[in-house]
Amino acid sequence: MVHIFSVSLLVMLAGLASASSPPSQEVMNQPVHTMEGWSWSDCGSPTDAVQLKSISLSPDPPKPGQDLTVTVVATAQQPIEDGAFADVVVKLGLIKLLSKTFDLCEEARNANASIQCPVKEGDYTVVETVALPKEIPQAKFTVAVKGYTADELDMLCLDLKVDFMRNPFPRLGW
């Protein structure tokens, strides 16, 4: 289930706005979690099957040509079974680089992830490392992930942004 985050990050970084109903006011007030060079926001609702608590990257910010370790902390509010899927859209500005549906359980099996379907209700921390290609262009990428249960109910919604533009003024240590 959580492997899709690292899959979507890898796809985005190498180069996850599916059609959905407009968010309720409660969803629109979700905080954006901003880090240096990247950010994420939970665009889902409190009734989604998976509630994201945190996402962290190491190194932060991610760097082309280096391994990227993604740590996701989430709560499964209901079981996630075979058939769960996610629609992932990766964009570079207004240009759509990828629009694909991933079978989450199959992705987890293929990656030999620590969490496999069926996923029981409960709190989970998943850590996965992926190798980032050194050819990642200096650009700003966005990834939209909309996940669904096997019954096609909303499972999660995640928006990611990663900025690989080189800062012409590196930190001065102040």
pLDDT tens digits, one per residue of 148-158: 999 999 999 99
pLDDT band per the 50, 70, 90 thresholds, residue 112: confident
The β-bridge partners of 140 are: 163
The pLDDT value recorded for residue 69 is 92
Task: Check if the beta carbon of residue 86 is closer than 8 Å to that of residue 104.
Answer: yes
Whether the pLDDT of residue 108 is over 60: the answer is yes
Task: Check if the beta carbon of residue 112 is closer than 8 Å to that of residue 129.
Answer: no
* Separation of alpha carbons 35 and 54, rounded Å: 12
Task: Tell me the per-residue pLDDT of 30-49, one tens digit each, with 9 for 90 and over.
Answer: 455 545 688 999 999 999 99
User: What are the Cα distances from residue 86, in Å, to 36, 64, 115, 158, 164?
Assistant: 27, 25, 16, 10, 25
* Separation of alpha carbons 141 and 95, rounded Å: 10
Question: Is the pTM of the predicted complex or chain greater than 0.85?
Answer: no
**For the ranges 4-8, 50-54, 109-113, 126-130, the one whose mean pLDDT is highest:** 50-54
CATH code of the domain occupying 3-163? 2.70.220.10
